[in-house]
A and B are shown apart, each in its own frame.
Chain A
Amino acid sequence: MTKKDEGIAFNLISRQKLDGLSSEEKLKFILKEVKNGKILVLEQGLTPVEQANLIEHTMKEIEQDTFIGVEMEGYCEDRPTFLQKLFGMTNRPRLTLIGPANLLKMIKKDNDMIQTKIIPGSGAK
């Protein structure tokens, strides 16, 4: 079977799964999946510091002929109100889409919608 016939894998990753992983484990998991050609929808995305770490890890993993990096799109964190802060609530990352850059392309993003396009021909391994 050719790679194209396998289709494109979309994995929705629950908040519980991500909560059970340390930051380092989370990044390793994401990069492994994305390098295997999968598109991930994270129910709860990454913190800004984790996002920066993911970019750094991605740059180290780039292999010029097989892996050119990631496409990652999400919204700014939810900020708690003053009252919520009093009860100990902190910033919460929101839903995030991450995939291989040769497969997933961002078209448009604003406060209400993230539009992406899948480039056929590079399905999951």
Chain B
Amino acid sequence: MGLFGKISLSSILQKIFGKKHAKIGIYGPPNVGKTTLANRILRDWTGDIMGSVSEIPHETRRAKWKKDVRLDNGNSSLTMDIVDTPGISTKVDFKDFMNTWGLSKDEAKRRAKEATEGVIESIRWLEGIDGVLLVMDSTQDPFTQVNVTILGNLEARNLPVLIAANKIDMEESSPATLKSAFPQHPVVPISALTGYNSDTLYSSMVKHFSKKRKKNRR
């Protein structure tokens, strides 16, 4: 056995230059598949799930997190605390829940109230995380103000961000549009629902979130 036994060069380099543990927030607008992706990651690496999913927007109204999720990528690895955050939006109208999704008035009002609290909680979590997995719906226009605001905040704080271009299992998806919209950030096309391309996402997460960076606190 050599001087370093079974320890590989890459793991030594990671110890010297990179992170071994990071708190990663899963962010994005409502209904882009954040919890589906969180469930996919947890199912693949811990056998657990994060929370329930629904077609009705704002299903996740409180942040949920799972500690010590270890992702391996060849000789390197990263242990993450994964935070699944409520969807961020600039408006919440209880009538949408009634008219589009058939909720009763009381249910709709309660969901809307909780959704507003969830948005506030998501924004506050930005202060305490080391990196963001920003989930976008690749079937939708990527230039939404929420996407622009989230990215601007991450850039201002110098936090690493990886864009997951979700829903590529759908015919109308266009991950290329997302890539051209945000060329300054890495974009990984994925289907959180089917798991398509999840291996690429995991290796990108380990590589990208392991990098040491100086955070700008605001």
Residues of chain A having any CB pair with chain B under 8 Å: 47-49, 51-52, 55-56, 58-60, 62, 64, 68-77, 91, 101-102, 106, 108-111
Contact = CB atoms under 8 A, between A and B. Distances in A.
A69 B126 contact: no
Interface in B102-139: 109, 112-113, 116-117, 119-120, 123-124, 126
Interface string B178-218: 00010000000000000000000000000000000000001
B218 A49 contact: yes
User: Binding site of B, secondary structure by majority: helix, strand, loop or mixed?
Assistant: helix
Given A47-B156, A55-B119, A108-B141, A69 B148 contact: no
Contacts of B93: 68-69, 101-102
Contacts of A70: 90-91
A74 B148 contact: yes
A49 B156 contact: yes
Contact of B119 (A59, A73, A110): A59
Contacts of B89: 55, 69
Contacts of A49: 152-153, 156, 218
A64 B149 contact: no
A76 B148 contact: yes
What size tier do the contact residues of chain B reach? Answer: 20 to 34
21 contacts: A48-B151, A48-B152, A51-B145, A55-B89, A55-B90, A55-B123, A56-B124, A58-B90, A59-B120, A60-B120, A62-B112, A64-B109, A68-B91, A72-B90, A74-B145, A76-B148, A102-B93, A106-B145, A109-B143, A110-B143, A111-B143
B90 A71 contact: yes
B119 A101 contact: no
A59 B152 contact: no
Contacts of B148: 48, 74-76
B155 interface: yes
B152 A77 contact: yes
B27 to A, nearest CB: 11
Nearest to A68: B93
Nearest to A93: B152
A47 B218 CA distance: 12
Given A55-B123, A69-B93, A64 B113 contact: yes
B142 to A, nearest CB: 9
Interface string B35-73: 000000000000000000000000000000000000000
For the complex of A and B, 8 pairs with smallest distance between CB atoms: A48-B152, A69-B91, A101-B91, A68-B93, A59-B116, A109-B143, A51-B149, A48-B153
A56 B90 CA distance: 9
